[in-house]
Structure 1
């Protein structure tokens, strides 16, 4: 069984979550106030590590940099993992 974690932004104290609790490809990853473990929607904020991937508990999708963008303010999304290694999904 996986261990689940909140990923907390040091500058704000907020955690990352999938916007709107979406389970779809390309849903935005945002920062948001940490939810209680008793909150039924907390799974959208919980993540686990599998190999080089960070995976959302609710959706089962991985953190992805949209289009592999390397510029400042690149959009972070969730997406299905690709069968071949891609630099914008793996640590």
Structure 2
């Protein structure tokens, strides 16, 4: 599996309140989805993002597409803060 860099970082709320987390790579995003995503916030976009991230790491999907799926999951879970570097 390959760890690919996102062209645009995605910032989400972290476990620690008030501490945003910048997600910049596929392995980091996949790890967050599997290990840290709140169980009650694992909706349809979460499942799509998890599949997209795995596909990107196995080079079956473009990294940008996986990043967009991760962003959609973060928005669905109300964890999304912003895209890009700020």
Tell me, yes or no, whether TM beats 0.5. no
Report the structure, 1 or 2, having the larger strand content. 1
TM-score (norm 1): 0.26
Report the structure, 1 or 2, having the larger helix content. 2
TM-score (norm 2): 0.27
Of structures 1 and 2, the one with the larger relative CO (CA 8 A, separation 6+) is 2
